[in-house]
Amino acid sequence: MFQPGQMMDRPLLISGIIEHAAAQFGSVDVVSRETHGPLFRYTYADCAVRSRQLANALKALGLGPGSAVGSIAWNNHRHLEAYFAVSGSGMVMHTCNPRLQAQQLVYIINHADDEVVLFDTTFAPLVKGIAAHCPKVKAWVCLSDGDNTVAVDGVANVLCYEDLIAAHDDRFDWPDFDERTGAALCYTSGTTGHPKGVLYSHRAIVLNALSGCLPGVMSLSPKDTVLPVVPMFHINAWCIPYGAPIAGARLVLPGPRLDGASLHELMEAERVTVTAGVPIIWLGLLQHVEQHGLRFSTMRRTTVGGSAMPAALIAKFAEKYGVEVRHGWGMTETTAVATIGCLTPENELLPPAEQHAIVARQGKSLFGVEIKVVDENGATLPRDGTSQGELLVRGQWIASGYYKGEASPLVDGWFPTGDIATIEPGGIMQIRDRTKDVIKTGGEWISSIDLENAAMGHPDVAMAAVIGVKHPKWEERPLLFIVRRPGQSLGKDEILAFLSERVAKWWVPDDVVFVESLPVGGTGKVQKAELRKQYDGVFS
Ligand code: ADP
């Protein structure tokens, strides 16, 4: 017999987050880099006031529960207000990745039925190019004050954000509704075919954001100042814009300035303790810090994910700068972080290189997420650290389908990630490759990630990428791309000799291409498809 518990049935809603922050951490700062340069500073209480004004403004524009509002914006305070105003009023916050191609942006804005799109001035040229193709958008709102709002040639319905909200009441009764209601929408990058939409529920976001605050995850608390470099336009900035106000942590939003010098200056000026971003961002930051002999006076922890964090970078952060790296894994379909590593006291007794090797794995699944690896027939593989197969996930914040999608992607209730992984007996998961990137050679597999990590261990290497190229005898063989560190003259023989000491002989790449830079996609990952296209046939 069902015996209900006697607790109140209060839904987990995003409006509750900002109202909690306003009530309990009302005087805590939010610092935000304006797109035109200066820093803007206010509090969670101010953020709540303006979120309510925006909620009223959107209502006045004729939007209501279920409407979608797009954003093409940096991490800044107006974007943050939209996160709360839009989802809090029962609408869908559709964050658009400005690095998508214009026709993909048009596709997602139309597919999501966006009625209003918020944009930063940086993206005015983009809006100019796409507005005519987005007939359902009633208003394009420039996230700026009157002085800095830009006219967009040929687009009549451009409004200024500050003018839009100024006229509206700062009281708004956030509606109560089912916590499983859609709150935010993010499209995958769509490397093949159209981008696919992932519609996050309030429940998924709140649960994930709460988990992100845990000490073994990002550890957010009132003691912290957190700077999410990871964009609010992709996977909710790993839910930090929700987690920080839940935890009462100060929030620092870097706006458009993501270069090493600007980030370091902001971290120091605002006494940032925790950061989060993709490895390529930290590469730029560390280069700047090393070149100028700088330190981190307050930064203690950084959460890294999106692509594999090489052990060499982990070592540099830990040994040279005293910064702990928390390496996590997740994807658009997992709301934000799904697995993350954290060293135990026993781990900390190991030699540093062994500790970094543990951190270089992608860690354990958070409570709320289950993981397993399966072979090509779908049979679960042992958790022995060596059996590798496709990683499957399920849990309270894992997608069960795609927005307006027909076929369910699930396999027996699990989401197939397209990543190849191993799981150790203790539960630590390691991503070996993406299914599409793994190099198949002579009936065996080579992990492009492991090879890249090994190459990154060479002091003259700034960036490395490995792809499999068709080979007449071996099916595929690895081809290595190297971006040298400035001023270095590393040659092919030297890097191959370096690798031969670190990987199996048959893993050593057949050739090396030295390049000035690598193609990086909208989410900070090297675009291997581009490289494959360009170098297809070089071993034939
Ligand atoms: P896309 O780049 O295709 O839009 P996402 O941004 O959702 O997709 O990225 C998810 C993918 O990024 C994962 O499936 C995985 O391949 C990769 N990824 C994420 N975190 C890590 C990590 N820590 N190490 C290696 N790969 C990672």
Are the CB atoms for 118 and 35 separated by under 8 Å? no
First-residue to last-residue Cα distance in the chain: 68
pLDDT for 218-271, tens place per residue? 999 999 999 999 999 999 999 999 999 999 999 999 999 999 999 999 999 999
The CATH number for 15-257, chosen from 3.40.50.12780, 3.30.230.30, 3.30.390.50, 3.40.50.300, is 3.40.50.12780
* Ligand 1 atom at shortest distance from the alpha carbon of 333: 7
* Ligand 1 atom at shortest distance from the alpha carbon of 521: 2
Nearest CA to ligand 1 atom 1: 189
Q: What pLDDT, on the 0 to 100 scale, is given for residue 101?
A: 87
Helix (H, G, I), strand (E, B) or coil at 155: coil
**Ranges of the chain whose pLDDT falls below 50:** none
* Ligand 1 atom at shortest distance from the alpha carbon of 449: 25
Domain 15-257 matches domain 347-434 at the CATH topology level: no
Nearest to 141 by CA among 153, 129, 125, 124: 124
Q: What pLDDT, on the 0 to 100 scale, is given for residue 399?
A: 98
Q: At what angle do helices 448-456 and 492-500 cross, to 10 degrees?
A: 110
Q: What pLDDT, on the 0 to 100 scale, is given for residue 332?
A: 96
Ligand 1 pocket check for 211: Cβ under 6 Å: no
Q: Ligand 1, from 217, 303, 331, 449: best to mutate by most atoms within 8 Å of Cβ?
A: 331
How far is the C-alpha of 360 from the C-alpha of 505, rounded, in Å? 22
Q: What pLDDT, on the 0 to 100 scale, is given for residue 316?
A: 96
pLDDT for 444-488, tens place per residue? 889 999 999 999 999 999 999 999 999 999 999 999 999 999 999
Q: What pLDDT, on the 0 to 100 scale, is given for residue 192?
A: 62
Distance of CA 279 from the midpoint of ligand 1 (Å): 12
Residue ranges per structural domain of the chain: 15-257, 347-434, 439-535
Ligand 1 pocket check for 306: Cβ under 6 Å: yes
Distance of CA 163 from the midpoint of ligand 1 (Å): 39
Distance of CA 278 from the midpoint of ligand 1 (Å): 10
Q: What pLDDT, on the 0 to 100 scale, is given for residue 89?
A: 98
CATH 2.40.160.20 fits 347-434, yes or no: no
Distance of CA 330 from the midpoint of ligand 1 (Å): 6
Tell me if residue 440 is catalytic: yes
Question: Which residue type sits at 165?
Answer: I
Ligand 1 pocket check for 419: Cβ under 6 Å: yes
Nearest to 329 by CA among 268, 376, 373: 373
Q: What pLDDT, on the 0 to 100 scale, is given for residue 191?
A: 61
Beta bridge partners of 141: 118, 159
User: What's the Cα-to-Cα distance from 202 to each of 182, 206, 217, 488, rounded to whole Å?
Assistant: 6, 6, 20, 50
Ligand 1 pocket check for 339: Cβ under 6 Å: no
Q: What pLDDT, on the 0 to 100 scale, is given for residue 522?
A: 77
CATH 3.90.1150.10 fits 439-535, yes or no: no
pLDDT for 74-101, tens place per residue? 999 999 999 999 999 999 999 999 988 8
* Ligand 1 atom at shortest distance from the alpha carbon of 431: 25
Q: What pLDDT, on the 0 to 100 scale, is given for residue 190?
A: 63
Q: How many CA atoms lie within 13 A of 392 on its CB side?
A: 19
